[in-house]
Amino acid sequence: MSTNTQHVKFGYISAVLAALLFGSVSTVAKPALVDIHPILLASLVYFLASIVATPLSKKTVSLSLQDKGLLIAIALSGAVIGPILFFAGLEKSTASDSSLLLNGEIIFSVFLAVLLFRERLSAIGYFAVILVIAGIIIVTTDMQFSDSIFDVQNKGNLLILGATLFWALDNNLSKILSTRLDVAKIVQIKSLIGGAILLLLVFLLQIPIEIELEHIPNILLLGIAGFGTSIFLFLHGLKRIGTVKTIMIFSTSSVFGLLFAALFLQEQISYFQIIAMVIILSGIYLLYKKQ
């Protein structure tokens, strides 16, 4: 197997593992938000993500002024604004609505990659994108559409949708920076900046720092696996196979979320959801073959 083939293969594997880990986020975070303020939870999670990336990152390298500005933009969009909106929205919304709305990140990321960053897909690639998005719609709605999902009165849903926009911006900016800076270093610095700013907000807003012992496992799982490791693997996917393909594969986090719900919450998987999984995997296969 050639070096380039291994490089691309690792990109696909990284994207799938990132989706697997991120698929657990809503289920793990929801119980913790009962007692922990969203901004405090986001701060703890991103500090943990930074710790995870530290031993994996290479030695500090000199950055140009442009790269420093890019890194700050990534941190603000992906590790400050995005998580604040997400955790605040999840607190006011349901896990099922969250699962559906998180797929907005796919739409926004592809939109930004194609229109602003000039990424291109072949006809087969676009067909694969359509397949994946169609599968996501089925798996997250079970073909039961509700007008209330995007009701403007539901502030939680709007906040989550807003979070996906800022994470989509983070995805595309990180793809640019990953060509010049070690992936683990990006995760480390981005998460550290985000965690620090969020913690500062905790003090400025006088948010009580109260954490129950029962929520510590959830916080550790969120920070280390759900965000730290998944972000690290996600950026490796961006670097090796591009934004659009990585986002399409990452969209399977909805499928993994479904499986986690069935395994840990004993929820039933419907026929529509099984069909959706087949459609999504078919789209990913087309993307892999075309690459």
Specify the number of domains making up the chain: 1
Structure tokens at 16: 């799938």
- Asked if residue 6 is part of any domain, the answer here is no
Q: Which domain holds residue 148?
A: 11-290
Give 211-226 pLDDT, tens digit per residue: 888 889 999 999 999 9
- Asked if residue 5 is part of any domain, the answer here is no
- Asked if residue 249 is part of any domain, the answer here is yes
Does residue 82 contact residue 38 with C-beta atoms inside 8 Å? no
Give 53-76 pLDDT, tens digit per residue: 888 787 767 788 898 999 999 999
Does residue 256 contact residue 20 with C-beta atoms inside 8 Å? yes
Residue-level pLDDT at 153? 45
- Asked if residue 196 is part of any domain, the answer here is yes
**pTM score of the predicted model:** 0.80
Stretches where the chain sits below pLDDT 50 are 149, 152-153
Alpha helices, DSSP H only, in the chain? 3-22, 25-32, 38-53, 65-76, 82-92, 95-101, 104-115, 123-141, 155-177, 183-204, 216-220, 230-241, 243-250, 253-264, 271-290
- Asked if residue 34 is part of any domain, the answer here is yes
Residue-level pLDDT at 71? 93
Residue-level pLDDT at 152? 45
- Asked if residue 95 is part of any domain, the answer here is yes
- Asked if residue 205 is part of any domain, the answer here is yes
- Asked if residue 50 is part of any domain, the answer here is yes
Residue-level pLDDT at 122? 77
Question: d(Cα 118, Cα 70) in Å, to the nearest integer?
Answer: 18
